[in-house]
Amino acid sequence: MATKKSVVAKRRRINDVLIHALLIVISLFAILVLAAVAIFLFLNSLPAFVSIDQWDFFTGTVWDPTNPVEPLYGIVPLLVATLVVTFLSALIAIPLGLGATIYLSEIAHPRIKKVMKPAVEVLAGLPSVMLGFFALTIFARFMWTAFLPWWQPSDYLNLFNGAVFLAIMMVPIMVSLSEDAMNSVPMSLKEASLALGMTRWETVWKVIVPAARPGIVAAMMLSIGRAVGETMVVVMATGSAPQLTWDPFSSGQPLTSTIAIEISEVAFNSTHYYALFELGLVLFAMTFALNYAADWAMRKYTERYQ
């Protein structure tokens, strides 16, 4: 009998070791893939580091790599377009996403939640090319003439047009992750707040939201990262004009749009070709910085509420 128990215990230990090793391998694989992407971008950017003046690359205000006289590789217009469209989309998506999260998590009737939650998840699965096509053919002109007939923007395909549809793609990500964070708040905190005489809204805003702040911040950062890295919507909706402008109602060309448009037409092994890889490296650094900021914010606020 004792021998049988020892055999079972030994098998359990072996299974635990195997599962532990498998999880380590999976985690290392994810890290290796990330490292491989970074190394690939860096190695393919090395020729651009040599042939392009890096000061002009990061401070130049003109992106015109096909100029036959003097190709210009200034990425400031691309960075500005990326920042403008990301900021506008976050400005639209974060209030909508946070409001929808609070409603679904704390206010909505279970029957309403049963319908709205799957609808939000379906919205997250919409192909970005379909949203971009809608922005290109319908929203770009029809919405302006239908709702704002007295005001005609200079470019119907503009940064604001792309930001609206990036916000549509950001909201489902934020709602799903933020709702999970709010649902994980201990019920004892809610009950204690209500027992002390706080109203339902005061409990939500002053107790539940602060307690769920790490998850909400992570949801915001991940949704912003989605906006920074999105391609098809900005290709089809922003006008793809690499001009330096802070005007959201003018055409622009973010980093992702530039890479997607030009990589298929550029000559292999040319300076322009390697410059696009350096753009990819810059984009990789931006998304990495966003994820690091999200991790830092989560650690900061988690320590506060533990």
Q: What is the pLDDT of residue 277?
A: 92
Joined tokens for residue 159: 């940064």
Classify residue 299 as left (phi > 0), alpha (psi -120 to 50) or beta. Answer: alpha
Contacts of 262 (CB under 8 A, 6+ apart): 65, 272, 276
pTM of the model: 0.83
* C-alpha closest to that of 239 among 171, 154, 167, 131: 154
Indicate the burial class of 122 (C-beta count within 10 angstroms; 0-12, 13-18, 19 or more). exposed
E strand or H helix at 240, and its extent? none
How do the residues of the chain divide into helix, strand and coil, expressed in percent and rounded to 5?
Answer: 75, 0, 20
At 30-53, the pLDDT tens digits run: 889 888 988 999 999 998 898 888
At 84-127, the pLDDT tens digits run: 999 999 999 999 988 888 888 888 788 888 888 888 888 878 88
At 117-161, the pLDDT tens digits run: 888 888 878 888 888 888 888 887 777 776 666 666 666 788 888
Distances (CA, A) of 263 to 40, 72, 73, 185: 16, 17, 15, 47
Q: Report the distance separating Cα 301 and Cα 306, nearest Å.
A: 9
For 47, which DSSP code?
H
Distance of CA 291 to the CA centre of its chain: 10
At 262-289, the pLDDT tens digits run: 888 888 888 889 999 999 999 999 888 8
Q: Report the distance separating Cα 158 and Cα 110, nearest Å.
A: 40
